[in-house]
């Protein structure tokens, strides 16, 4: 029996998805303890603070989340498969998770998860435990009828956690709503063509709202990975006080 058990464990390891080597997590000190920031992949990250764990756009398979605490809160920005990934949602432990989503995402959630979802429209706010959440419009410019990301469908988010304001852009361009943001401590800003914006446009948006720290994320486009080094140079040239953090968002590449 012992050898049979060992064989089963060995086979389950061999035939399970490869565990990715995620970027080392960062830690941000807040008024109520440390906030751990774990880049996962593409537009997905995990935030852990005050015994609460937030998954943003969990995507890419359960193995990427091995070793992470089970989520208490899941934020989903849009309906596309790199944000709303039903296979990953059904594979991770969502037993105690509440979902914050736009209406279009709520309409497409698997039936077993719909009851866990709260719909938040652009501009609306809510609170989970001690975490404040505001939905920020995310959309393409110029606004057209055939836009990949029309205004009103998806959400970016600003989270206020322990006195720190965290902006998660979702799929957007440097919209007036992004440029008007104030007092952002940490920003996660997308940059990938043809889906969102080039690095030059992303840098101009960041220079407009001046976060203390910015992570380029969601930077895989049709032509491969965007040049985040150029983004860093443009931001530092425009405002040397903004810290640009380059992390490995594509651990399987």
pLDDT tens digits for range 61-118: 999 999 999 999 999 999 999 999 999 999 999 999 999 999 999 999 999 999 999 9
What is the spatial distance between Cα 229 and Cα 235, in angstroms, rounded to a whole number?
10
In the block, residue with structure tokens 């985040």: 228
Sheet holding 213-216, edge to edge: 125-128, 131-138, 154-161, 164-168, 186-189, 213-216, 243-244
Residue 16 Cα distances to 7, 8, 9, 20, 179, angstroms? 14, 12, 10, 12, 44
- Ordered by where they begin, the domains of the chain are 27-243 (3.60.15.10)
Judge whether residue 5 has pLDDT over 50: no
Give residues with Cβ within 8 angstroms of 173, minimum separation 6. 139, 140, 141, 196, 197, 201, 205
Q: Rounded mean pLDDT of the chain?
A: 92
C-alpha–C-alpha distance, residues 90 and 175, integer Å:
33
Paired tokens of 215: 């992570």
- DSSP conformation letters of 34-71: EEEEEEEETTEEEEEETTEEEEES--S-GGGGTTSPPP
Max Cα distance, the chain (Å): 66
Q: Which residues pair with 58 in a beta bridge?
A: none
List all residues 6 or more positions away from 200 whose beta carbon is below 8 Å from its beta carbon.
Answer: 230, 234
pLDDT score of 226 more than 60: yes
Q: Would the pTM count as exceeding 0.85?
A: yes
pLDDT attached to residue 252: 76
244, containing H or E segment: strand 243-244
CA distance 180 to 175: 9
Cβ burial 55-91 (10 Å sphere, 16+ → b, else e): bbbbbbbbebbeebeebbbbbbbbbbebbbbeebbee
d(CA 188, CA 194): 19
Beta-ladder partners of 30: 33
pLDDT-derived band at 17, boundaries 50, 70, 90: very low
pLDDT tens figures, 133-169: 999 999 999 998 889 999 999 999 999 999 999 999 9
pLDDT band for 19, please (50, 70, 90 cuts): low
Name 243's Cβ contacts closer than 8 Å, sequence gap at least 6. 212, 213, 214
């Amino acid at each position: 029996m012992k050898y049979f058990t060992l064989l089963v464990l060995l086979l389950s390891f061999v035939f399970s998805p490869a565990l990715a080597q995620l970027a080392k997590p960062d830690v941000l000190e807040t008024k109520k303890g440390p906030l751990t920031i774990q880049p996962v992949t593409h537009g997905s990250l995990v935030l852990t603070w005050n015994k609460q764990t937030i998954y943003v756009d969990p995507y890419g398979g359960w193995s990427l989340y091995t070793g992470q605490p089970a989520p208490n809160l899941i934020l989903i920005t849009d309906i596309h498969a790199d944000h709303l990934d039903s296979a990953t949602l059904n594979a991770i432990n969502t037993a105690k998770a509440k979902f914050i989503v736009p209406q279009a995402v709520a309409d497409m959630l698997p039936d077993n998860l719909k009851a866990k979802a709260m719909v938040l429209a652009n501009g609306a706010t809510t609170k989970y435990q001690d975490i404040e959440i505001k939905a920020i419009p995310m959309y393409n410019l110029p606004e057209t009828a055939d836009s990949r990301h029309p205004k009103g469908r998806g959400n970016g988010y600003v989270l206020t956690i322990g006195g720190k304001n965290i902006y998660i852009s979702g799929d957007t361009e440097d919209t007036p709503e992004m440029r008007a943001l104030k007092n952002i401590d940490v920003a996660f800003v997308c940059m990938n063509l043809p889906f969102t914006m080039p690095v030059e446009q992303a840098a101009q948006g960041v220079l407009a709202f001046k976060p203390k720290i910015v992570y380029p994320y969601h930077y895989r486009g049709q032509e491969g990975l965007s040049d985040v080094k150029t983004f860093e140079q443009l931001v530092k040239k425009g405002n040397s006080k903004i810290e640009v953090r380059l992390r490995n968002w594509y651990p399987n590449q």
